[in-house]
A and B are shown apart, each in its own frame.
Chain A
Amino acid sequence: MNASGAQVQENPRSGARVRWVGYQTIVRREFGRIVRIWGQTVVPPAVTASLYFIIFGSLIGRRIGQMDGFDYMQYIAPGLIMMSVITNSFGNVVSSFFGAKFGKHLEELLVSPLPNWLIVLGYVTGGIMRGLLVGTLVTVVALLFTSLPVAHPLLIVASVILTSVVFALGGFFNAIFAKNFEQISWFPTFVLAPLTYLGGVFYSVSLLPGWAERISYANPILYMVNAFRYGFLGTSDVDVTLAIGITMAAAAIMFAIVVTLMNRGTGIRE
């Protein structure tokens, strides 16, 4: 009856199988994009990180001396790695998803039978990949300047992945609402960067005056940076269990919000 439409799609490949293949395809495409435009995706963050290490670590760090009992360079290394993970997970998803919207090739996914939550998962995985790739690169750069102890390896892995999930979802959220390229640089510049710089990347918040320290505890990035730093150095400004809890909750809430927006068609369907 239907000679060319070889397989009738009703049953042969189960929904789960279709989704698994679809997910892999999105991830593969995201990876392909990171590699294709490596000059924009991995080189600049590595260069930026090297500059930070040279300036803050070697030049200024020598004058600062120790922080929490570690060389300043060692103290900021986890913070700088985390900062690059945050910016790159966010940046990957916001530009890839907004690019797909803007270039209309998002329609390739929208007409396919893949559910929205899976599309979100695919892009988030892309964000994690770029975050981890750049994070690893920055770690390598850091190791050229200093040595890093590893106190709690599992915590390092858990906190870096959770953090990149949260910011990949943040990038997705931004891309859903963005109507032009200006609106995808607004959030990173005016929200993400300040929160990151003030999130204990370069200093221990215990050095701040009381009021500034209290305000800092409202900054979620502080918890992520500290959990990660604790994984290396075994020192933290915050309760690490609380930090992981907050990050997990943030990831779950963001995921629910983003999938709901997608299901409503916000920003993607007329």
Chain B
Amino acid sequence: MQALSIRSLAKTYDNGVQALKGIDLDVREGDFFALLGPNGAGKTTAIGIVTSLVTKTSGSVSVFGHDIDRKLELAKSCIGLVPQEVNFNMFEKVFTIVVNQAGFYGIPRPLARERTEKYLRQLQLWEKRDAIARSLSGGMKRRLMIARALVHEPRLLILDEPTAGVDIEIRRSMWEFLRGINAKGTTIILTTHYLEEAENLCRNIAIIDRGRIIEHDSIANVIRKLHQETFVLNFRDAVDRLPELPGFAPRQVDGHTMEVEVSKEQSLNEIFARLSAAGIEVVSMRNKVNRLEELFMRLVEGGTAAQPAGESKT
């Protein structure tokens, strides 16, 4: 069963910004899934559409088989959302916020209270139950939103940059907690712009940039692609057949050109040795741009650099 299935989803905001340019996405039930991308890539927009906070321009979304155009209420009842920005009433008490959210999902008051206690304890907020939300620290506010998202025990938990701006220690304990939730069967989708976070937590990943999905694969495959370089070699004379290159998977583009992926641990000497032995003379070599690596360079350099000029309004 697919926990989430998105087809050709597009969104153009009223100001003309094309935040999503037709994305496809599939997340299996039970998965721990990362949606990774730089600032402005369209992550929050995609999540907004799935949770019906944002209207879509075109495309379709279904949650556990419930299409949001036809079975919106069923789709919504399967999801728990931890938004990117704090969105509870700052003047309400911690307990009230969580117990009311349970009520909005139709959970009768006595059970709602039990659940609220359970999740506030799990997130170490029980001592703070009578505190006014505004008085909580940043990390506590984030945890309060997690408790609120879990109180109706959703099958799919979506977290939009849950660890942005929280310190390392809190981040690690949050990871631990999310792993536990996932192990008990809840499907989790999180957005992040830290590859490390995705690598640590997730099994599958989609990478989004400028409103397009550019990778949708297992983490392991993506990491492998990331640590690979593609070299393009040009030969002096046309070559009919390439020699055997054990450990490599070369592609012959034409008689004079070959492309080969080389991981960072492998050595190029081997390739040259085999080619020389076969009497093939290499006249030039360049490495192809690794789109993924380029993207991660931008991610590492930090958020806003990744935003295409002129596309966002200031």
Binding site for B on A (CB under 8 A): 1-10, 13, 15, 17-22, 24-26, 28-29, 32, 36, 100, 103-105, 107-115, 265, 269-270
Contacts and interface: CB of A to CB of B under 8 A. Distances in A.
Contacts of A103: 87, 89-90
Interface in B12-58: 13-14, 29, 48, 51-55
The 4 closest A-B pairs by CB, nearest first: A18-B106, A25-B103, A112-B104, A104-B87
Contacts of A108: 87-88, 100-101, 104, 148
Given A5-B154, A5-B186, A104 B85 contact: yes
B303 interface: no
Given A21-B103, A111-B79, A9 B185 contact: no
Contacts of A24: 103
A51 B169 CA distance: 59
B162 to A, nearest CB: 16
Contacts of A115: 73
Given A4-B181, A36-B91, A269-B54, A25 B96 contact: no
Contacts of A26: 104
Given A4-B181, A17-B106, A111-B81, 15 more contacts: A1-B185, A5-B153, A9-B77, A19-B106, A21-B103, A21-B108, A36-B91, A103-B89, A107-B87, A108-B148, A111-B51, A111-B53, A111-B79, A113-B76, A113-B106
B105 A112 contact: yes
Which size class do B's interface residues fall under? 35 or more
24 contacts: A4-B181, A5-B185, A7-B153, A9-B77, A13-B106, A13-B107, A15-B73, A17-B106, A26-B104, A36-B91, A100-B89, A103-B89, A103-B90, A105-B87, A107-B87, A109-B104, A110-B52, A111-B52, A111-B76, A112-B104, A113-B106, A269-B52, A269-B55, A270-B54
A7 B102 CA distance: 13
B104 A25 contact: yes
A270 B52 contact: no
B79 A3 contact: no
A110 B53 CA distance: 7
Contacts of A111: 51-53, 76, 79, 81
Given A111-B53, A113-B74, A270-B13, A4 B100 contact: no
B76 A112 contact: yes
B186 A4 contact: yes
B78 interface: yes
Given A111-B53, A269-B55, A22 B89 contact: no
Given A5-B186, A9-B77, A111-B81, A18 B105 contact: yes
A111 B151 CA distance: 14
B236 to A, nearest CB: 58
Given A13-B106, A111-B79, A113-B73, A5 B155 contact: yes
B78 A269 contact: no
B184 interface: yes
Given A22-B106, A105-B89, A4 B185 contact: yes
B83 interface: yes
A230 B285 CA distance: 96
Contact of A3 (B14, B152, B184): B184
A104 B97 CA distance: 13
Nearest to B88: A105
Interface in B105-141: 105-109
A98 to B, nearest CB: 13
A9 B186 CA distance: 14
B185 A114 contact: no
Nearest to A100: B89
Nearest to B89: A105
Nearest to B106: A18
A107 B83 contact: yes
